[in-house]
Amino acid sequence: MKQNVCFYRVIYGDTDQMGVVYYANYLRWFEMGRTELLRQLGTPYSSIEERGLFFPVTEVSSRYLKSARFDDEIAVETIIQELGRATIVFAYRILRKVDDVLLVEGLTRHACLDADGKVVRIPRDIEQVLRASMAD
């Protein structure tokens, strides 16, 4: 399975009053991970949108295990876990880079929509690229 790893350093604005990363920021980092994975596969999200297709999130789940804090460098690992006719499921692991501690794991499910907002099949060429990344 092809995995993308990207890195991010936590800024002060990512934290809450207790000095830990606000939980919703992990969802932004999920987005960063899947965007970078698609780019690495040669199918950047912008090229998908240029074709009049969109992959909105239809479901999200997160399991918070440990907290990230200001100035931590995190690693966001992303894979494509499932691929249906009109859906994609990405799986994520967010780790603190210095000690490789797993902080959060999660999933996002996406539907493939056309410009009118109707569910459509993922085009074969995109499906082939995505499926190939699952086989590595």
Active site residue ranges: 16
* In contact, 78 and 2? CB cutoff 8 Å: no
Instruction: Report the distance separating Cα 121 and Cα 100, nearest Å.
Output: 38
Instruction: Report the distance separating Cα 19 and Cα 36, nearest Å.
Output: 28
Sign of CA dihedral 8, 28, 68, 79: negative
Token reading at 5 = 């790893």
For 29, the enclosing helix (H) or strand (E) is helix 25-40
For 50, the enclosing helix (H) or strand (E) is helix 45-50
